[in-house]
Amino acid sequence: MRKFDFMGIEKKIAAAVASIIENESGQVIPADRIVLQKTRKDFEGDLTLVVFPFVKMLRRSPEHCADMIGKALAEKIEEVAAHNVVKGFLNLSLEKYVWLDFLWKNANNERFGLQNPAADDDLKPVVVEFSSPNTNKPLHLGHIRNNLLGFSVARILEAAGNKVVSVNLVNDRGIHICKSMLAWMKFGQGETPQSAGKKGDKLVGDYYVKFESALRKQVASIMEEKGVSEDEARKSAPLMMEAQNLLRRWEERDPEVVKVWETMNAWVYEGFDQTYERMGISFDKIYYESDTYLLGRDIVLDGLKKEKLLKKEDGSVWADLAEHKLDEKLLLRADGTSVYMTQDIGTARLRYEDFCPERMIYVVGNEQNYHFDVLKKVLIKLEEPYADAIHHLSYGMVELPDGRMKSREGTVVDADDLMSDMFETARKTTEELGKTADFNESEKKDLYHKIAMGALKYFMLKVDPKKNMLFNPDESIDFNGNTGPFIQYTYARIASILRKAGEDRLKLSELKLDASRMNAKEIALLKNLSGFGAVVAEAAAACSPAQIANYVYELCKEFNQFYHEYSVLNEPDRAVSDYRLQLAKLTSTTIKNSMALLGIDVPEKM
């Protein structure tokens, strides 16, 4: 069903169809009404033309139209070998040599399906922001989805010919950061990651939890003593006042506070770095909110001066978005301080000045849909030149079987723990299968890591980003069926064949094969391979790694069927054997390249 464009044949046929219909009916049809798709498996053919859109102008039955167009195409285009008609569908079979040519032209291209990085210095980049963690808590399952998505989308956009800059905007300041600082200052007794034997982000997270539980106790007793609501009790609780005081002191650059802040954040970064490295994630640039939180104020004040915004009696500044059917949105408080939106206005401008991007993609959960809607509209209102470049890549929540992760209920799935669990499962499964008898310790570790991350990444990326997804921690992620390890296994099996064949045989200078000897399975596989470039383009347009994942899964299934039915190296006819070897090679390249777009490594043996 997927569209595929193979050496321009699709275009050639579409153009021919247009001229045939014009000749017959005298009417010109728009190109987008010519629907060519991959022929479904249960029908004979390679490409299918849907003729329903033309039956009215041709004034004949769908079958007649299809037959007429089919005959004309067979005459006009030499690559069209045969055609058949089912209802209103015209199935075209291409000459087999078309597929052989395709294989021969691409077999040695290691970057098959990937566009080369644009050398053009004037090309405007796409900025992809993702991850954007808070420095008061360790990373969890939700962050994993965000990181994997962002990293993969960046790779896919590159493969589609874009220049890409990956950025991370770290939320390293604010009241929530002060909470963990305060708890550490009060209860920590100088504890450090070293003394506690913990990763820094975990230690800081523990103090955040300590703050919350101490606060809850205070709130409970205040509510009992004064009979006030929980909200009110929270606001008046001494710990809350202290935290706010700490934030004030931080903003005033109180040296003592800044020192604690720097120390604790450094611990967190050390922890994050380990987690990122394990995940295989990196960035071109890291922004810190402590540097950017004051940005945006000037833009807002300027907008006020130009009367694009309005000031209320108390001095607060608002954007009226009634023209976009949205409410008024606060941009500056009465005391002149900023809100989150103000800061995002500032960082958008900063990013624009830093990179002059063609597009700015924000990988952020769908809980912030409204926020980004408003951000874009405020920027339009302010007539910022980059307003239209803003693109929110909104993804669904990761849910547990009993609903959302809740830190209060201790149901948060920690990123490090999850990766360790996956590693353990990979180790156990692999050892049970007895696959690593001849591996040394570091090779084993490397392999288990690849499999573990392959399973986890594929699991999370194969689902359409915009959909919520379910993660059941009790059922560990599968290694069979539609999974990362299945694809890795397919790759490893081909790698084994290629090793056995040897480099000399792989470097073939000539392919001597009569195309008539190609079988249906091989052609199905070649057809699949030929669609890779188009899939990359579609995945880039949709910012959807899931499309790559689904593609490479299909490809592996196709190859495994071929592999089961036919032999590559044991095939007695050398010409056929050589040809199948090239087919296997191009398949392995395509698997490797696809998986790289998902941020997944493939092992040569497993």
Partner RNA sequence: GGCUCCGUAGCUUAAUUGAAUAGAGCAUCUGACUACGGAUCAGAAGGUUCCAGGUUUGAGUCCUGGCGGAGUCACCA
- For the CB of residue 425, give the shortest distance to RNA in the complex, in Å: 9
**Closest by alpha carbon to 168, among 275, 284, 13?**
284
- For the CB of residue 179, give the shortest distance to RNA in the complex, in Å: 11
| 467 near RNA, rule: CB under 7 A | yes
| 520 near RNA, rule: CB under 7 A | no
Cα distance between residue 142 and residue 378, in whole Å: 28
**Sequence letter at residue 245:** N
Burial of 116 by CB count in 10 Å (0-12 exposed, 13-18 middle, 19+ buried)?
exposed
| 444 near RNA, rule: CB under 7 A | no
Structure-token pair, residue 321: 């978005």
Residues 108-137 that bind RNA (CB under 7 A): 134
Closest CB to RNA among residues 124, 466: 466
| 31 near RNA, rule: CB under 7 A | no
Cα distance between residue 199 and residue 177, in whole Å: 17
Query: Which of 115, 192, 218, 366 is close enough to bind RNA by CB under 7 A?
Result: 366
Query: Which of 88, 161, 280, 473 is close enough to bind RNA by CB under 7 A?
Result: 88
* Residue 448 CB partners (closer than 8 Å, separation 6+): 423, 426, 427, 430
Stretch of residues binding RNA (CB under 7 A), selected from 141-149, 207-215, 410-418, 557-565? 557-565
> At CA 32, angle to CA 553 and CA 14, rounded to 5?
80
Query: Which of 485, 531, 545, 599 is close enough to bind RNA by CB under 7 A?
Result: 485
In sequence order, what E strands does 406-487 have?
469-470
Site string for RNA, 302-341 (x = CB under 7 A): ----------x-x-x----------x--x--xxx---xx-
| 370 near RNA, rule: CB under 7 A | yes
Query: Which of 469, 506, 511, 575 is close enough to bind RNA by CB under 7 A?
Result: 469
| 43 near RNA, rule: CB under 7 A | yes
C-beta of residue 281 within 8 angstroms of C-beta of residue 302: no
**Closest by alpha carbon to 203, among 180, 177, 185?**
180
Stretch of residues binding RNA (CB under 7 A), selected from 110-118, 263-271, 362-370, 586-594? 362-370
- For the CB of residue 8, give the shortest distance to RNA in the complex, in Å: 17
Site string for RNA, 403-432 (x = CB under 7 A): xx---------------------x--xx--
Cα distance between residue 545 and residue 63, in whole Å: 39
**Closest by alpha carbon to 606, among 411, 468, 452, 382?**
452
C-beta of residue 389 within 8 angstroms of C-beta of residue 360: yes
C-beta of residue 36 within 8 angstroms of C-beta of residue 49: yes
- For the CB of residue 383, give the shortest distance to RNA in the complex, in Å: 23
Cα distance between residue 113 and residue 536, in whole Å: 7
Query: Which of 16, 39, 299, 362 is close enough to bind RNA by CB under 7 A?
Result: 39
Residues 219-248 that bind RNA (CB under 7 A): none
Site string for RNA, 260-299 (x = CB under 7 A): -----------------------------x----------
Polymer length of the chain: 606
| 211 near RNA, rule: CB under 7 A | no
Query: Which of 52, 97, 386, 439 is close enough to bind RNA by CB under 7 A?
Result: 52
Phi first, then psi: give them for residue 305, nearest 5 degrees: -60, -40
